[in-house]
Structure 1
Amino acid sequence: MNANTTVRRRRTIRIAAAALIAAASLSLTACNNDTDNTGTKKPAASAESNSGGSSTGAQGSDAKTGDTDKAPSSTGDQKLADGSTAKIDKLGTQHYRLKIINDGAVLATLEANQRDAGLDANGMYVVLTLGGEVHSWMGGEHSGPGTYKLAGGWTAKVTKLGDAHFRADIIGNEGSVDGTLEANQHDAGMVANGVYIVLSAGGVISAHQ
């Protein structure tokens, strides 16, 4: 073996050793990137966990609450003053619907939603309370603007505000206005200390105790 051959082998060994050292350095750097300063392995960011959060948010935004999703539940039937039948359905909290039925036909519908409702049904007066109670009677009406004595000691001052638009101030014994009914294009009703009052859009008012 001559001197030139020996030199080439030494160079080859040195180059191979340098390559091994470089590879080891790269491997060590990659391992260090996966750990924090304490030597604990860092958790990798997960695309699955991010999409899971978005999915949960979307489901929350689509969730519906409230009484509108519930089917009406019947609270029973009740005979009215003129012999017809009232069918009462509960639609939600303080939300009721009444259908006046005669010979199988629906003659009128009344809905109380967070407040009492009233109806003048051709001389029969009906009040549906926000609690689902029904009261009906006939007679005792007064018509047009004016001041009228009502059942239970109340006084009603009826004012015309426009076409099919009337307001009734309900006045107590001491002369104070204790309640107001306004019928604007449709009838209105209320309960005042056990006295049921209806004001029609035509300016007719009636009360019953």
Structure 2
Amino acid sequence: MKEKPNEWVAISDLMAGVVAVVMLLLVMAVLKNAAAEMAHREQAEKGSIAQRKKIATMLGQLQADMASQGASQLVRFDIDNGKMTWSDSVFARSSACITPQARELFGKTEAVIADFLASNHGAQVFVEGHTDNLAVSKPVTDIERYCTVYDDNYTLSAARAREARRLLVGRLSAASAKNVVVAGYGDSHPLDAADPGNPRNRRVEVRLVPAES
């Protein structure tokens, strides 16, 4: 007698075919997502490179402009890292008051900051104050003379960064100005290879940081 086909065999074959199709679709989806992610990373990297190139161009032009005015001793440029470093000489001695010559230079930098933030949505500018490790001998309370009050290096470094920021945000809207951030590090971040007591550590650094893609 001829045996009847086992219906469970047919069902299992059908299920196996369905599983194979589902697995194929999953593999295709994974590959598609991986390709999309890779394309996004490549696009983001291209955008980051373009932003860094623009920062380098802007700072290069600013550096040349300031050099032509003999300001090389007041501000140094690290174009590869999008940073400029203002020396202690831009401030009155033991003060947060910015000298008249430096104010003019900050005015030129202000235009660069405004252009940078306008063309890089979500970008930030960090204005960071630093000092050497020589302790403040006595509290300074004459705010009219020193443009701040302070009793330690952290307070002085933050005040200097704050005064620098004031000269950098004049062309910005209130919303854009929030992307210019101040920090005071005191003597906790000495320059590489510099003794903590070296006067070169007294500085304000301005870093242009493009938005993450």
The TM-score, its normalising length taken from structure 1, stands at 0.36
Whose helix proportion is higher, 1 or 2? 2
Whose strand proportion is higher, 1 or 2? 1
The TM-score, its normalising length taken from structure 2, stands at 0.35
Asked which structure has the greater CA Rg, the reply is 1
